[in-house]
Each structure stands twice: as C-alpha cells, then as structure tokens.
Chains A and B, each alone.
Chain A
C-alpha cells in the first residue's frame, strides 16, 4: 500500500500525462511482482501436493529435480481407500443440499419479500436466528435428532440441517425486494398465480444472487468436515473430507506422498473441471454481475 501512496505523491495533482504515465508504469511493475508473489504463495500447497504425490516418500521432502517420478503413491492410495466412492458421496451431498436449498430458500424469500401477513416480522426474526445458531455448533443435539429419525449415517443426514438456509433466505429476500412491483403486477394481470410469477419474474432477475449463493453453498459443503465426521460411519455415506482424514490419521506417522496422492485423487475431478472450464466458469459468474 505504501508504494502505491508514494507513486501518488510523485504525481502532481494537476496531472502531467507524462509523469503520470511514468509512475504508473513503475507501480504496475511492482503490482505485477506482488501479484505473482502472492500467486505463487497461494498455489504452493497444490504444487507441493503434485511434487509429493509423484515422488517416493523419501524424495517428497527434498526438491532435487533429478528425483525419479513415480505413480506408485496413486496406486497405493487408490487401493487403500475407496476415493471414487467418497468423491461420489460428496457430489451427491453437494447437489442434494444445493437443490433443496434453492427451492426452499426461493419459496421462503418470496413469502417474506412480497406477502403481507400477520407474524411476518416474528417469522423472519425466527429465520434469522439461524444466521447465528449455525448447525455446525449444534452437533450434539442434531446427532440425537438424526438418531431419532433413524437416518444416521446417510448422506441425507449430513445435508438435512443445512437445507433451510437463513443466509440464503435473507440474501434472496433482499434481491426480490428490488424487483419492481410493476413487473409483478403485470404478470398477475396476465393471469399468473403466485408460483408462476415467482418462476417467471423473480427467479430470472435474481440469477446473480443465485450464482453467488450457489458458490458459497457448494464450497461450504465441499469443505465441511466436523458434522459429517460425527454423523457418518460407513464408506457409503462419508464425504471426501472425512474419507481423507480417516485415511491420513494413522498412529504410524505421516506419509506426505500418499496423503498428497489421495488428496489429488479425491479433488482431481474438480481440479480438472476447473482447469478446463476456467474461462467459462469465471466469465459466466461475472457476466451474471454478482456484487
């Protein structure tokens, strides 16, 4: 920040184009350097995972470029744990949670944004309670509930507490409120019922919010660990996070090569998808104009 400020000071407020250009170029070079330093730092864990996964355990901590490459760690990890299954579980979990969230959140947000009814304020406050009383904190009580429902150790039980999302309802309600009432009325005049109005008017206009929310949700459940750890027992329901932890927590010491191979195996599909569709993904996200 201080370098930026310095460059500002050099430039007179009146702004001689030449001077401005000079200092601008210097600061740009500095920024590029900074961006790259940060970028390298940020990708370092991934780079290291690649290095360790493709080298033997003995070479994993020395960065001698001549060290032989190997696929043995992947073979070992693949046979040591059902990572494909874990990955599938996570995909199912994330899809299920997001799908349910989008439907529930849309309906509730619509009710709060555009309906006048007694108890609305209280109901909304009760929903907002979840902003602070996060399911992550209520693990003991929710475990009891899941047992009572008889659905412990299923993918459904991992996702269920998160399906009604106060964060989503709040976010979407804000967006729906900005939809001009004229549009709403026009749709009704055309004979649309409430659901059709919601579907035709509100949902399309809220696309950016949906995208932003979807990203938060997917990233949250893709990474979530503590609750799935507690509620799942079997290979059939464990998500990748729990699978990886169960795999790497041994009493015999760490082997970074195997752990890295396992990490790449289980996050690989997403990584490749991102590499392939990076442009489209970022662009569509941006075209939607999330703010």
Chain B
C-alpha cells in the first residue's frame, strides 16, 4: 500500500503520538527526578536555613567543608571498598550457584530455596539476625569457631573487621537475588551445545569458559547495573548493625547523607554530599551505558 518503513510513513501524526506516549513517564520523571536534582544542586550553594539565620548564598562553602570533612573521605573510601568488594564476589557467587542448581546436583529443590531466601527476607529484618551471628561470646559465628577451638573476635566492634562483616551481609543479599537471573539464562540455553561439547571431549570447565560464559554476557551486564546501583544504595543493614561505627569504619555515603540530612538537619551540606554521590553514580552509569548501548542485540 504505502512505501516501506513505518517510521517514514506518517511523519505528521507520529510526533504527537510519541509525545503522548511519553507524557506520563516524562511528567513523573520531571517531578521526582529532574526537579529535585536541580533543586538539590541549587540548595548545595546555600547555607542551611535556621531559625534566626535564613538560607543565604554561600557559593562553594558547602563543598569546601566537604573537602575538609574527614568523615566524608572515610565514607567515600569505605563505599568504594564496599563496591569493589561486594560487586564481583556477589556476581561470581551468583553465577556459581546458578550453574550448580542448573545441573544435576543432589537436593536441587532445597538449594534453590536456600539461595532464594535473601530475596524474601527484607534486609532490615535479616540484619538483626546477622547481628546475632556476629555477636561476641555467644553469637553463632563465635559458637562455631569455638567448636574448632578458634579464638573469638568482636566482628562488628573492631575497626578492621566491621566493614568486611557488613560486606558479607550485602553479598549474601545480592548473590541469592542475582542467581535467579543467571539460572533463567542458563535454562534457556540449548542442551545440545553441552552434549556436543562433551562428545568432542571438552571438559566442563573449558565449555563453561568458552561457551556458557560468553553467552551469559547480557545477563552479566544486566546484573552488573543492578549491583552497582545497590552498592551505593544498600545501607539498610548499617542502620541496624553499626550505625556507621566503630569510629566511622562502616560509614557509607548514602547513610552519611541520611545522618547529615535527617539527624543533623544540615540540608545544605546534605545537598553537597548528594551531589557527590550523584557524580559517582553518573560516572558509573555512563560507563555501563557505553557497554549496554554497544550491545545492540539485547536478547
């Protein structure tokens, strides 16, 4: 009937329809993402309004304070360690778990449920249980170390072990969740591939490295996006387990923003901190977006 290409076909009406389709999403995004982000940027140049000192323009003072604030630097460094520690380990474990429960391992049903528990139990609830695991003297970890005759340790109460201890909780939470996506991807792979490889005499590990893993790349990227976001977002267990202590050893950026904004009520400084977190996330997002966009054949 008409010439090829639905895109070319009706230039007159299409833009209107397109904008109508976009309208609800764009309106909500403008209200709850763009406007607050801009407002936040503006507020970061103003002092925090107090009763007898109304908010005034102070230029870069909030940022200057930031540079001089040792707790901020501590939180930043902690958060980077937290990200570098939790992201690769949780993704690797997720993959391992998925491969296992995808295979013919004994007790697959139980294992699936076990790996799935972190998705059902909210972090905030489970943090209290982890608190018991880490409790000195009679906590679960102490009791089990005791069976092996090992000395106890105050895991959350020492500066060197507190951050790794909360990272373990984050890994527990993340790996179980990511496992599902890997499992789904593995299930959709053709079993003939593996059979053919086995006949060829390729070892399972070789097959995994050369065939399975590359085929899982899209899933890995999908999971990676989530993992990066979560590395800067997941602070719920900090609220319960350490409140950033001891001596800021587990202080993370978002938790520090919450403290500054909602406990110290310094909204100007919180705005400057928020800008830093946004900058980090922006950098991470641009990097990932570069990856994702290059992969035009999603699915």
Contact = CB atoms under 8 A, between A and B. Distances in A.
B278 A132 contact: yes
A157 to B, nearest CB: 11
B185 A118 contact: no
B261 A117 contact: no
B131 interface: yes
Contacts of B212: none
Nearest to B16: A117
A98 interface: no
A64 to B, nearest CB: 12
Nearest to A209: B299
Contacts of A171: 222
A7 to B, nearest CB: 7
A227 to B, nearest CB: 10
A20 B201 contact: yes
Given A141-B35, A223-B123, 19 more contacts: A35-B97, A44-B140, A104-B24, A107-B25, A110-B21, A131-B289, A132-B281, A141-B36, A141-B37, A142-B36, A145-B36, A164-B24, A164-B25, A185-B6, A225-B123, A259-B128, A262-B125, A271-B120, A291-B184
B16 to A, nearest CB: 9
Given A137-B281, A209-B299, A291-B185, A45 B121 contact: yes
Interface string A101-136: 001110110111011111010010011111111111
Interface string A222-264: 1101100010000000001110110011000010100110110
Contacts of B119: 219
Contacts of B285: 128, 131-132
A151 to B, nearest CB: 12
B132 interface: yes
Contacts of B250: none
A136 B253 CA distance: 12
Interface in B10-25: 11, 14-15, 17-19, 21-22, 24-25
B180 interface: yes
Given A169-B25, A215-B180, A35 B105 contact: yes
Contact of A11 (B6, B100, B183, B203): B203
B28 A118 contact: no
Contacts of A140: 40, 261-262, 267, 270-271, 274
A91 to B, nearest CB: 13
Interface stretch (B54-62, B74-82, B108-116, B149-157): B108-116
Contacts of A141: 35-37, 39-40, 43
A77 B100 CA distance: 38
B129 A45 contact: yes
A137 B254 contact: yes
Contact of A42 (B17, B29, B115, B240): B115
B192 interface: no
Interface of A: 4-5, 7-8, 11, 13-15, 17, 20, 24, 27, 31-32, 34-36, 38-46, 48-49, 52, 61-63, 103-105, 107-108, 110-112, 114-118, 120, 123, 126-142, 145, 160-161, 163-164, 166-167, 169-171, 174-175, 177-178, 181, 184-185, 188-189, 194, 208-209, 212, 215-216, 219, 222-223, 225-226, 230, 240-242, 244-245, 248-249, 254, 256, 259-260, 262-263, 266-267, 270-271, 274-275, 278, 282, 285-291
A104 B25 contact: yes
B45 interface: no
Interface residues of B, number: 117
B158 interface: no
The A contact surface, by secondary structure, is helix
A115 B20 CA distance: 12
A290 B129 contact: no
Contacts of B267: 140
Contacts of A45: 117, 121, 126, 129-130, 133, 172
Contacts of A267: 120-122, 125
Nearest 7 CB-CB pairings of A with B: A15-B201, A141-B36, A289-B188, A115-B18, A286-B187, A164-B28, A43-B114
B194 interface: no
Given A116-B11, A285-B184, A42 B132 contact: no
Given A116-B7, A244-B122, A267-B125, A254 B131 contact: yes
A263 B6 contact: no
A32 B129 contact: no
Given A135-B32, A136-B254, A8 B236 contact: no
Given A132-B284, A178-B298, A127 B124 contact: no
Contacts of B176: 42
B258 interface: yes
